[in-house]
Amino acid sequence: MSVDAQTVRRIAHLARIAVSEEEVAPLQGELNAILAFVEQLGAVDVTGVEPMTSVTPMRMKRREDAITEGDRAADIVANAPETEDGYFLVPKVVE
C-alpha cells in the first residue's frame, strides 16, 4: 500500500494537524516507510505463538474480589468543586 500526497492531507485533516505544503512530501515518505514495515511484519509466521502482554512472563496483579460497604456517595463527592443531588457537575462539552 502506498500513500499519496492527497491521502497525507486527508489524514492530517482528520487528525486536526496543520500540515504545510512543504511538510507533505516528507510525511508521505515517513508514512510509506511505516506501512512498508507493517507489511514486513505481516509476512512473519506467528503460528503457535501465544499473544502476550509483556516481554517477561508474569501474571497481572489482582486484588481480592470482596464485598465492601457501599452507600458512600456523600464521601465520594465531598471534594468535588460542584455537585448536585449526589452527582458531579461538569462543564458541558457537547452542544
Residue 1 near residue 39 (C-beta atoms within 8 A) = yes
Reported as a single tens digit per residue, the pLDDT across 24-59 is 999 999 999 999 999 998 889 989 988 887 888 778
CA angle 41, 43, 47 (to 5 degrees): 95
Q: How many distinct structural domains can be found in the chain? A: 1
- Whole-number pLDDT of residue 74: 85
For residue 11, the enclosing domain spans 5-42
Q: In this model, does residue 63 exceed pLDDT 90?
A: no
Could you read off the pLDDT of 26-35 as tens digits, one per residue?
999 999 999 9
In-domain check, residue 57: no
Task: Collapse the DSSP code of 67 into the 3-class scheme (helix H, G, I; strand E, B; otherwise coil) and give the result.
Answer: coil
Position 18 in a domain: yes
Domain for residue 90, yes or no? no
pTM above 0.85, yes or no: no
Evaluate if residue 8 carries a pLDDT over 90.
Answer: yes
Residue 17 included in any domain: yes
